[in-house]
Amino acid sequence: MIRGVRGATTIKKDQEEEVVQATKELLDEMISANDLDPEKVSHIWFTVTSDIQSAFPAKAARLIAGWQFVPVMCAQEIPVPGSLPLCVRIMLSAELDKSQKDVQHVYLNEAVRLRPDLGLTNKK
């Protein structure tokens, strides 16, 4: 079954190294928590808030061995007033042998505030 795996993190400053490092950390956590195999990943969508312009977060996927052939796309979040600043979000679609409720979504740093209703966030 194709499942969506969500994740989000925040950065302190819009700098290329920070965007890529924080995104790689998030992807690593998502991969580990869900035992993801790149051969079973359909694609990954990365979005950023409008205050992030220094780097494409998808660059982080290229730093993980075996993930260089996974299709990736970046986009900008809609600028909703009061939304969480300096935020990178990920929607990863993969074939998983898990039920919807067993998928582990990962939220790091200030992004833990995005989905407190799930009770699935990883605090950092």
Binding residues for prephenate: 6, 89, 107
| 3 a catalytic residue | no
| Residue 15 DSSP label | -
User: Could you confirm whether 62 is annotated as catalytic?
Assistant: yes
Binding site feature residues:
6, 89, 107
SS3 91: strand
Q: Which two tokens stand for residue 75?
A: 């986009």
Among candidate residues 77, 95, 110, 113, the one labeled active-site is: 77
Q: Which of 3, 6, 18, 113 is catalytic?
A: 6
**Tokens representing residue 81 in the block:** 């007033």
> One of 18, 25, 62, 110 is an active-site residue; which one?
62
Is 87 one of the catalytic residues?
A: no
List 25, 89, 110, 113, catalytic entry: 89
Contact 54, 40 (CB under 8 A): no
- Contact 61/70 with Cβ under 8 angstroms? yes
Residue type, 6: R
**Annotated catalytic residue: which of 3, 18, 74, 110?**
74
**Is 115 an active-site residue?**
yes
77 is catalytic: yes
Nearest in space to 106 (alpha carbons), one of 20, 31, 11: 31
Active site amino acids: 6, 62, 74, 77, 89, 107, 115
